[in-house]
Structure 1
Amino acid sequence: MKLKHQMQITEHATRNTSHASRITLPCLLLAILLTPSAFPQVADDKNATFFMGRIRYSSSEGNDCPGVGQDLMKLVSRASTIKVQEERRIKLTDAELYETPFLFMNGHNDFVFTEAEIANLRHYLSRGGFFFASGCCTNPDFPKAWRREFGRIFANEKVKPIPYDHLIYRSFYKIDRVRCLNENRDIQLEGLFYQGNLVAVVCEDGLCCAFSANGTCNAGKGISPEEGQKLTLNIAVYALTH
């Protein structure tokens, strides 16, 4: 059974994005009031309202750019009154998967999911879970593999670019366009949809690396640290409100 929760977006976000919406997995109820002036700390609290699962998968133990996940959690914490727990590292075959409404994955290299991992992802995403992935250091091998593997999850659903008129670019900050630092093109998120709902997002341009590791990972490539923080926060807010 899916649970319902309420979320109120402050005037920091666009007015038309405040609404009640669905998520999440069984046994978790989120009630969040975003406020730009609140700066709670990341808490190692078993009763924390929100926690993130960092995926350990076939070619990684979740150690690629190890500080990125924690920096992502701190970013969410600083922008909200939500209580945030330390990240947990889980496999797609772990029972804890279904108690974790927000999954994060990153990496540098190619990877392949097992059939069991694909089946669990199908179950997880079709029941309200959300998956966010960020390639490390703008390496193209990881996002290429992610598109291929996530294209296996739902019949007739492939990973595709998310246009700039999608609500994910308005969920907290109003983002009209993000330019690549080292190429003449826009940065664009890509996603997997299920029954019209966006359930998984990837950015090939080192999105989280942009504001982690003291900005040394991307080193002038991909997305800027400032835009990286904004876009990542939009993704997190969108995941928690849909």
Structure 2
Amino acid sequence: MSLVLTLFVFISSAQEVAILKYNGGGDWYANPTAVPNLIKFCNANISTSIKENPESVEVNSKDLYNYPIVFMTGHGNIFLTDKDAENLREYLISGGFLHISDNYGLDSFVRTELKKVFPDAELQEIPHNHPIYHQTYAFGSLPKIHEHDGKAPQGFGIFFEGRLVCFYDYESDL
């Protein structure tokens, strides 16, 4: 949770965040209390004033640009059309931020579909000394949430012109 709190520092003047609605059947609506609980915590503890009930926004909608940060989660298949990928890329390179939280089962789909968004970029493991892990709260590591297979939690990112535009928590979960 501390990792995501750091993200809110970057958008402290924001009033709304959204949950990204995608196609493919990967249950984009999973964990309906996760983002609202995070928002309540941030509003109470780091002086944000974020709308407590996040909207959902379709990945191909121009409304995506109304939100400085969008969250994506689920358990399975994600499918982005060319239009979806183009819109998401433009959103991200225009200043938006995407946090993807692996709710166990997204990994192969996330990696495949992000190649449509950034064909020349690779997900890079984010080192522990990166500011995203220490901006608001210093903590030892990503929390281990999923106990399915014993793998360590990891944070990955995609950078555009030196700026982290997408953070993907793997084996952790928002």
TM-score range, shorter chain: 0.7 to 0.9
Contact 1:56 1:92 in 2 (8 A): yes
Inter-partner Cα distance in structure 2 for 1:80 and 1:207:
21
2:69 is matched with 102
Deviation, structure 1 residue 60 = 5.1
Deviation, structure 1 residue 145 = 1.0
Contact 2:98 2:166 in 1 (8 A): yes
Contact 1:103 1:132 in 2 (8 A): yes
For residue 123 of structure 1, the aligned residue among 53, 71, 90 is 90
Gaps of 5+ in 1: 1-16, 25-29, 32-48, 209-242
For residue 63 of structure 1, the aligned residue among 25, 29, 37 is 29
The answer to which structure, 1 or 2, has the higher relative contact order (CA under 8 A, 6+ apart) is 2
1:177 is matched with 141
Inter-partner Cα distance in structure 1 for 2:17 and 2:86:
20
* SS of the residue 1:131 aligns to: strand
% identical aligned pairs? 23
1:158 is matched with 122
Contact 2:26 2:75 in 1 (8 A): no
Judging changes above 3 Å, is the alpha-carbon distance between structure 1 residues 176 and 119 closer, same or farther for their aligned structure 2 residues? same
Normalising by structure 1, what TM-score? 0.60
Normalising by structure 2, what TM-score? 0.82
Amino acid at match of 1:207: D
Contact 2:155 2:169 in 1 (8 A): yes
Inter-partner Cα distance in structure 2 for 1:188 and 1:50:
29
Whether 1:88 and 2:55 are equivalent positions in the alignment is: yes
Amino acid at match of 1:201: F
2:17 is matched with 52
Inter-partner Cα distance in structure 1 for 2:60 and 2:137:
35
Aligned alpha-carbon RMSD (Å): 2.5
Deviation, structure 1 residue 143 = 2.2
Inter-partner Cα distance in structure 2 for 1:68 and 1:107:
12
> Which is higher, the Rg of structure 1 or of structure 2?
1
For residue 194 of structure 1, the aligned residue among 157, 160, 164 is 160
